[in-house]
Amino acid sequence: NAGVMQNPRHLVRRRGQEARLRCSPMKGHSHVYWYRQLPEEGLKFMVYLQKENIIDESGMPKERFSAEFPKEGPSILRIQQVVRGDSAAYFCASSPRLERSVNYGYTFGSGTRLTVV
């Protein structure tokens, strides 16, 4: 029973390029969460998705960032025209459908370390 799978583990991009981060949820999980961790900081929520639907994107920067979770395939976090400040660890987690207000926590993937040079 594989856990949350993220790839690539490390990604190096030059300023102005695009970064695509992938997340495959645990089997049977329909909800995906993306978090970002800047160096020496805690985790910051970015976006919460279910299949083909964005539930909450309140933590996403207004420009250059987008996320999707298609009916088939992994969830994708896309960062266009990357800048040095985008260098961070990006973590994905997944959960089954939650009963209202009950959250038992979730398991994170190993993360993608993005370095912008």
Partner 1 sequence: QKEVEQNSGPLSVPEGAIASLNCTYSDRGSQSFFWYRQYSGKSPELIMFIYSNGDKEDGRFTAQLNKASQYVSLLIRDSQPSDSATYLCAVNDAGGTSYGKLTFGQGTILTVHP
Q: Which of 13, 19, 24, 31 binds partner 1 (CB under 8 A)?
A: 31
Name the residue among 69, 84, 72, 71 with its Cα closest to residue 21.
69
Q: Whole-number minimum distance, CB 77 to partner 1, in Å?
A: 15
Q: How far is the CB of 35 from partner 1 (least distance, A)?
A: 8
| 52 interacts with partner 1 by CB under 8 A | no
Q: Does 91 participate in binding partner 1 (rule CB under 8 A)?
A: yes
* Spatial separation of the C-alpha atoms in residues 14 and 12, rounded to whole Å: 7
Paired strand residues for 13: 116
CA 10 to chain centroid: 14
Phi, psi (degrees; rounded to nearest 5) at 84: -60, -35
Give the binding site for partner 1 (CB under 8 A): 31, 33, 35, 41-45, 48, 55-56, 58, 91, 95, 98, 100-111
